[in-house]
Structure 1
Amino acid sequence: MLQVGDPAPDFTLTTTDGTPFRLADQRGRSVVLYFYPKDDTPGCTAQACSFRDQYEEFQDLGAEVVGISSDDEASHQKFTKKHRLPFPLLADAGGQVRKLYEVPRALLGLLPGRVTYVIDPEGTIRYIFNSLQRATDHVAEAKKMLQQLQPR
């Protein structure tokens, strides 16, 4: 897996509204990049809704939240609308970005893993949280790291 201190690999994927999202275009602000297994499953819904409910706090900390799964744009659009998600979900159909970020598979390789990366404004990975089962802990852990990154 990638390590804390590594540069975050750049990529371009399509957002929920069909526009391209390029990580390098986010320089100057932090990014919480979270990989999740599948739209509208219990753990993934809890995670997305937890990010939604605390989204303003992430914005106040200077960060954009971005979710990535292998679901297609239509699935992301439905999931976003159903749960009123204010942040982009990116369609990684072939799993190329998941591979680029070395996100491991979970449960004996049967499921895509759930990993969250906190990337600082310079594009460096500052924190990695990997847990399939503790879906909402990804939100709390990312927020704690962003608070630590704030200038004193």
Structure 2
Amino acid sequence: MATPDVGQPAPEISLPGLVLVDGERHDDQYSLSAQRGHPMVLAFYPGDNTPVCTRQMCSYAAGIEVFRGLGAPVWGISPQDLDSHESFARDQGLGFPLLADTAREAAKKYGIAMVGLGLRRSVFLIDADGVVRWKQVGLVGLTYADVDTIAEQIRQLTPA
């Protein structure tokens, strides 16, 4: 499946995920359609506790107040299971949802699945109406969109 273009409806995803709140694990089912009404940041990353993924997710955790201030929740999405996500979140102090795309269904819907390699590191900004408004899809996966870049894209969604 092709990566959705900017201006196209975001493919629906519904995945199990968890978030740590004051050290306590909270599991839930996360559905994009249930998030309508505000922008969303979907951050697809190849793997828990890998060097670049750790830097990326930690940078988003450090900037989480920026995202919250803009009314845009962040979801980290990778192929690992919830137990792996819990360990990763605890080790790195991540306080936003990590979703388990173990069958790579979401990665396929977003056109970023790579046979034998998992997925391409990618960030999608979805607007309040469920439309893709910005994306960064990595070719190699060694770089990622930083907090300031994503925040600027979110600000552009809001009329002055």
Alignment partner of 1:116 out of 102, 108, 123? 123
Could you tell me whether the CA contact under 8 Å between 1:129 and 1:141 is conserved in 2?
A: no
What are the within-5 Å matches in structure 2 for residues 93-108 of structure 1? 93-105=102-114
- Deviation of 1:76 after TM superposition, in Å, equals 0.3
Alignment partner of 2:61 out of 52, 68, 72? 52
Q: Deviations over 1:113-148 (max 9, x none)?
A: 10100000110000010121113x343322120121
What are the within-5 Å matches in structure 2 for residues 2-151 of structure 1? 2-16=4-18, 17-105=26-114, 110-131=117-138, 132-135=141-144, 137-151=145-159
Letter in 1 for 2:152: K
Structure 1 ranges of 4+ moved more than 6 A: none
Other structure's SS at 2:59 match = helix
CA–CA distance in structure 2, aligned partners of residues 41 and 126 of structure 1: 28
CA–CA distance in structure 1, aligned partners of residues 147 and 142 of structure 2: 13
Could you tell me whether the CA contact under 8 Å between 2:41 and 2:73 is conserved in 1?
A: yes
Letter in 2 for 1:113: R
Q: Deviations over 1:40-76 (max 9, x none)?
A: 1010000001000110100111100001000000000
CA–CA distance in structure 1, aligned partners of residues 113 and 136 of structure 2: 12
Other structure's SS at 1:90 match = strand
Letter in 1 for 2:36: R
CA–CA distance in structure 1, aligned partners of residues 114 and 149 of structure 2: 21
Letter in 2 for 1:130: V
- Between the two proteins, the alignment pairs up a number of residues equal to 149
- Give the percent of matched residue pairs that are identical in Structure 1 and Structure 2: 38
Q: Deviations over 1:95-129 (max 9, x none)?
A: 011001111539xx635210100000110000010
CA–CA distance in structure 1, aligned partners of residues 32 and 118 of structure 2: 25
Could you tell me whether the CA contact under 8 Å between 2:79 and 2:118 is conserved in 1?
A: no
